[in-house]
Amino acid sequence: MALDYVLPTFAKFHTPDLVVSGPNSGWTLGPFIYTLSGTIGAAITAIERGIPAISFSSGNTDLAPFSWVNASTKVGLQDPATITAHLAATLLQSMIDKAAGSPVLPKGYGLNVNMPYITSFSSDTCTNPPFVLTRMATNDTTRAVYDKGTGLFHSSDGASDQSSIGKALPKEHDVVKSHCMSSVTVFTVQLDASFHGQCLNVTDVTALVPVLVQPNTPLTPDGNLTVVVVGNSSNSATPSSSAPQPPATAVTGPGSKARISLTALLFGLGVAAFLL
């Protein structure tokens, strides 16, 4: 609605340079939530149309009235919503500065940012969390768990990840739930095979984020960053020869024969009906 009506009607342009979704209350952690979250959904909608997008979520769910925003809390600190907004704006400006007039992210890519619980209602324990480069919980099974007390469902982490990629970057869950840190996860939207070469053009996710986002954290086992390879190392947008390619000619299989037989049957019934 924003891209097809609001902007062309009121802003007189169709394509923004960047779409920012959020910050919204409640975390969007792990691959399970990517099909459910409206915050990430809005970002994905933009990315699918070639527009860079970043989604922001926060661990705070005890929201204050809008009239409290920008006012001090009982302990003399900024409202959590204000702090969250400042954090988001700081990261965004850092991304824009890094791009220096170029697209903020490559085509088909987005960022999912989760901020921890901001404690400014009661203390300054966590009011300025650093940004840490993370990954989704690969191979984790996230389940929908029913809460009898609230009558609602929430997601629950599954088994721990033992894959090799798990040794490279910390998981979103571990960063925001156990530490005063904000997770920054790079993801791709590749529903169309025409994106193949473009999405595989980036070999190191650390190259997509500004220095504000720390690629090396105490959560990595050996204290050193291992590059996460998400594609080939070529700068060319041409797909690698090892990638599966579409067949050069159409293949006639059982499905095609079935359609031909059905067409012949319907034609025969039509002729019979005409003669009768």
Q: In degrees to the nearest 10, what's the CA dihedral of 239, 104, 55, 57?
A: 130
Q: What is the pLDDT of residue 190?
A: 66
Cβ–Cβ under 8 Å, residues 56 and 39: yes
**Architecture of the domain whose range is 2-246:** 3-Layer(aba) Sandwich (3.40)
- 155-159 mean pLDDT: 52
Burial of residue 10, with CB atoms counted within 10 A of its CB: 0-12 exposed, 13-18 middle, 19 or more buried: exposed
**Considering only 34-43, 93-102, 213-222, which range has the smallest mean pLDDT?**
213-222
**Considering only 83-92, 118-127, 160-169, 207-216, which range has the smallest mean pLDDT?**
160-169
Q: Higher-confidence residue: 80 or 164?
A: 80
Q: Alpha-carbon distance 84 to 119, whole Å?
A: 11
CA distances in angstroms from 78 to 67, 102, 170, listed in the order given: 13, 34, 29
Residue 98: pLDDT over 90: yes
State the DSSP code for 3.
I
Band the pLDDT of 219: cuts 50, 70, 90.
Answer: low
Burial of residue 95, with CB atoms counted within 10 A of its CB: 0-12 exposed, 13-18 middle, 19 or more buried: buried
- 54-83 mean pLDDT: 86
**Considering only 61-70, 110-119, 213-222, 263-272, which range has the smallest mean pLDDT?**
263-272
Told to judge if 57 belongs to the known catalytic residues of this protein, a careful annotator would answer yes
Nearest to 203 by CA among 168, 232, 171: 232
- 13-33 mean pLDDT: 87
Q: What is the pLDDT of residue 171?
A: 85
Tokens coding 227: 């590059």
- 64-70 mean pLDDT: 76
Give this prediction's pTM.
0.66
Tokens coding 149: 């007390």
Q: What is the pLDDT of residue 144?
A: 72
- 10-27 mean pLDDT: 90
Q: Alpha-carbon distance 26 to 61, whole Å?
A: 6
Band the pLDDT of 181: cuts 50, 70, 90.
Answer: very high
Band the pLDDT of 21: cuts 50, 70, 90.
Answer: very high
> What residue segments make up the domains of the chain, in order of their start?
2-246
Identified catalytic residue from 21, 37, 55, 57: 57
Q: Alpha-carbon distance 121 to 21, whole Å?
A: 25
pLDDT tens-digit series, residues 190-200: 644 444 444 44
Residue 205: pLDDT over 70: yes
